[in-house]
Amino acid sequence: MSQSNGFVSFDLLFAALPVILMLAHMLTVAEMASETGESILQSKETPGKLATIADYIVKRGAVERSSQGTGFLGTASYRPNVIDEAELGRIDKKLIMEWMELDSLEISWEKGEGNCIYRLVLLEGEVKKLYVCGE
């Protein structure tokens, strides 16, 4: 009797071992898939944020402007896609990073690190690419 009980236990152990190994492997793969999915979703979100920031810069934030009159704090006229370097330098990148929940933000005429998008603008009459990069 005790000999047959021992035999049954061994059989159960050898049957359960592959199941335990598969479970462990499945949990590891599920964790890796979840991390991959999270980073891919983030990579889809960041270009959208950068596109929004670039749109603001190119349409209002860093464009040439002229003010007229003083009523209602004056009337400003903006020239979208015509960049004023001085205005570009005055863009508050830290504030924008805070609003958009970005870890880094770079706005320049050269492609930088991380995710980058660009817009086409005029600078002193010349067509140039303005890069907005961030993570």
Partner 1 sequence: MKTIEALISLMLLLSFTSASLLSAPAYPSQLQKQQLAEDIWRIAYLKGCFNQSVPSINAENEMESCLNPLVAEIETQTGLGIAFSPQEAAGQELPDENAVVLRKTIVINGIPKESILHVG
* Structure tokens given for 121: 């603008």
- Closest among 49, 48, 77 to 63, alpha carbons compared: 77
Cβ-based nearer residue to partner 1, 90 or 129: 129
Q: How far is the CB of 71 from partner 1 (least distance, A)?
A: 29
Q: How far is the CB of 26 from partner 1 (least distance, A)?
A: 5
Q: How far is the CB of 18 from partner 1 (least distance, A)?
A: 8
Cβ-based nearer residue to partner 1, 45 or 98: 45
Cβ-based nearer residue to partner 1, 34 or 74: 34
CA angle 47, 48, 54 (to 5 degrees): 85
Cβ-based nearer residue to partner 1, 47 or 112: 47
Query: How many CB atoms sit inside 10 A of residue 59's CB?
Result: 14
Q: What is the DSSP letter of 124?
A: T
Q: Provide the binding-site residues for partner 1, judged by CB under 8 A.
A: 15, 18-19, 22-23, 25-26, 29-30, 32-33, 36-37, 40-41, 43-44, 47-48, 51, 54-55, 58, 79-82, 117-122, 127, 129
**One-letter amino acid for residue 40 of the chain:** I
In contact, 57 and 80? CB cutoff 8 Å: no
